[in-house]
Amino acid sequence: MKKTWIILGSLFVAGLVVAGLLYVTFPVQMTTYGGLGLNFAKSLSAPAGTLAVETNTDYKAPAAAVPAPPLADAAWPNAAAGDWPSYNRTPTSQRFSPLDQINAKSVGNLKVLCTYDLGIFTAFESGLIMVNNALIGTAEFEIFSINPSTCALNWRTHLDYPGALLPANRGAAYMDGLLFRGTQDGRVLAFDFKTGKQVWETTIADPKHGESVPSAPIASNGLVYVGNAGGDYKGGKGKVYALEGKTGKIVWQFFLAPKVEGDVVRGPLGKSPLDGSTWNNAAGVPISGAGLWTSLTLDLKNGLLYVPGGNPAPDFASGAREGTNLFTDSVVVLDAKTGDYKNHFKVVKKDWHDWDVSSPPILLQTMGGKQLMALAPKDGHLYGYDLATNTQLYRVPVTTIENVEGAFSVGQNVHFCPGPVGGTEWNTPGFDPTTNLIITGTVDWCDTVRIQDDKELASVEVGQPFTGIAYLNPINMFGKESRTDGYWKGWIYATDADTGVWKWRVKSNYPIVAAITPTAGGIVFVADLGGNFYALDSSTGQKLWGGPLGTGGAIGGGVITYTVDGVQKVAVADGFTMVAWPTKPRHARVVILGLDGASPSK
């Protein structure tokens, strides 16, 4: 018996040694496949999706101060009325669709028309676009074009470069016959819209510093606007660029965290007041952070670009970077032509929870006549700013807020809500101008962290994860998220744009990460990480249609609606599989839905 135990113990130790060697040799692959295996086990007993609607008796409908119907959202020049030509459909990121063929009365006849299966497991976060009768999507190593009615493949281009621990690509932009997307190794690529053939490439980030380009660009007036992520890595620093659409030449560059000696300058710098005065970093802690990992918003009338900035690093160890750390957790407003600084809004005043401004802000006019900027970061709140005075009108919670006041101390485990994958993630809330409601989807998921001391922080090498977490397991790089079985959930809040008072809210037993899409048909499309896709009444939040979509893979990407030959369709990026989210591992797919027997609108 003793001999048997010795043999078993030796095999166990040998297994640990082999696993350790494999992790050192293949850290990305081992973490990814190990995490997916754990996620598969956790998802075996995943429950069916549920929704619970609440109505706020304190809500009062606004008195309209502008003529009805509401002012139309500013569209992209030359965009077809039935297309979805950019990440958030319009430059202002409102996400509202004027289509109404699928409405509260007809949505009961909605059905799946076709599916395009990419045949891969990936963090499918693509903000789909539909332009010129082609539906475009991206994944980490893919860009593809399919028929927006039949899902037939037009073309698909595979990219070959090293993988990343946090793999993502959030979509492409279209302009003048070209498509534009970023890569995990720091490049922006252009492709021929009709063939998928690569036309040019431009490097805007340094992967040796952990920098990448996962965000969906936007494109206008000959320029492509895009930034780089990497603010969770030591030495990684966010910048935003304007590139010449035809050639990829850098027209201007703007640093979202202070430029210091040794930083690479790739193009003409926009004028900036930013210096290191709001950073007081400890020895061995370089200025890091302000990554741009989502899309952007453009005010075409005034020529202003609204740039959302990410967290400072180390994420949780704020004592190593005393100060307000500008321009992290901010919206920075730039001259779209020159990249010159115009203004900024410091949204999260001091961040030690990894609470990025994680999605593009919305520019809108309320029923009360206010010119508003609205946004929902990862801190679990919805913010409204009056653009006439650049002042904050409201800051209201849209998920659970718990134990967020006290700073973290070395050696202590601290539990707080929302965690770093809580609040609103990369998808913008939707604004419905017919109801004056901002509809926000959020993640209700808490986290526990224990931070490193100064010596441990200084020992981290440049280009390595720099969150400040003391846990050794790489899966816990952002802390230990709470269990999912009854401990995570999601919310959909419908909030009055003038007052910040919520009218209705829906509690889901799964987080809401996917895009929110309200329409003129009186419905709002939403989806959850349990693989459920719903159509809700935009006035009341009541479920009109929905349930599991296909294979039950999580939905964390784009939800768009468009017309083909006058018939309205809906497309969903289905199959979000990522080590940081314990969801069912499923292939990435585009699912197209439409009305049974629909005919063109007159």
| Distance (Å) of CA 471 to CA 312, 448, 460, 479 | 19, 11, 14, 7
Between CA 45 and CA 486 the distance in angstroms is: 12
Q: Which long-range contacts (CB under 8 A, 24 or more apart) does 399-406 make?
A: 399/423, 399/442, 399/443, 399/444, 399/491, 400/444, 400/446, 402/446, 404/353, 404/379
Task: Give SS3 for 33.
Answer: helix
The pLDDT of residue 165 is 73
Cβ neighbours of 302 (radius 10 Å): 12
Q: Is residue 164 part of a domain?
A: yes
The pLDDT of residue 164 is 77
Between CA 323 and CA 350 the distance in angstroms is: 8
Q: Is residue 9 part of a domain?
A: no
Q: Is residue 565 part of a domain?
A: yes
What does the H/E/C string look like for 291-317? CCCCCCEEECCCCEEEEECCCEECCCC
CA 353 to chain centre: 17
pTM of the entire predicted model: 0.93
Between CA 73 and CA 152 the distance in angstroms is: 32
Task: Identify the segments of the chain with pLDDT beneath 70.
Answer: 1-44, 64-72, 598-602
Q: Where in the sequence is the domain holding 313, given as residue range(s)? A: 46-55+83-595
* Orientation of helix 2-25 relative to helix 27-43, angle to 10°: 120
Q: Is residue 564 part of a domain?
A: yes
Q: Is residue 543 part of a domain?
A: yes
Between CA 553 and CA 77 the distance in angstroms is: 36
Q: Is residue 287 part of a domain?
A: yes
Q: Is residue 15 part of a domain?
A: no
Please report which helix (H) or strand (E) contains residue 7, including its range: helix 2-25
**Which of 351, 377, 342, 340 is closest to 362 using CA atoms?**
377
Q: How many domains does the chain have?
A: 1
The pLDDT of residue 579 is 84
Residue 337 sits in a domain of what CATH number? 2.140.10.10
The pLDDT of residue 167 is 86
The pLDDT of residue 407 is 83
The pLDDT of residue 30 is 47
> What DSSP assignment string belongs to 96-141?
-B---SS-TTTGGGEEEEEEEE--S--BB----EEETTEEEEEETT
| Through-space distance between the first and last CA atoms of the chain, rounded to whole angstroms | 83
Q: Is residue 64 part of a domain?
A: no
